Amino acid sequence: MKDTQFETLKEMGIDNVRDIEKYTSRIEGDIDILKIYFHRHQGDWFAKSKKFKFQRVHKDLRVNEGTTTYRHTTEPSPFYLRAVDELDKLVAQDKQAEDKKAILLEEIDHLEKVMQRKIEDIRRQIEEL
């Protein structure tokens, strides 16, 4: 994971993107609120988080191909969308690592069971001699 691919998060003041654990997003009025949670380090009492607010972009859209008036609407800012995209990539990478870890642990459990059965079989054969 290269830190250079997370330029938007760097611009937001997040120095170490590897510390990000998860994020939440919500809308309050015409503001998008992005809350980023960081991994808790040893000795910390609480997990750290940072909250960012992004003003939504206001637009007037033509309704029914211009036969009626314009309708006022808002949409997320491009900077906010880039930040969420980068966070999605980070969270997906962490999820892949967790999935890989779970798969490897399952393989170890299976291997232990196979080895235990084989050892029991060999001991049984020795007893039969």
The low-confidence residues of the chain, meaning pLDDT below 70, are 1-4, 47, 65-68
In terms of pTM, does the model score above 0.95? Answer: no
Q: Which tens digits make up the pLDDT trace of 25-53?
A: 999 988 999 999 888 777 777 768 899 99
Alpha carbon separation from 88 to 20, 36, 40, 43, 48 (Å, rounded): 11, 12, 20, 28, 19
44-67 burial, b if ≥16 CB within 10 A, otherwise e? eeeeeeeebebebeeeeeeeeeee
Measured CA to CA, the distance from residue 67 to residue 56 in angstroms comes to 27
Q: What is the pLDDT of residue 2?
A: 56
Q: What is the pLDDT of residue 104?
A: 83
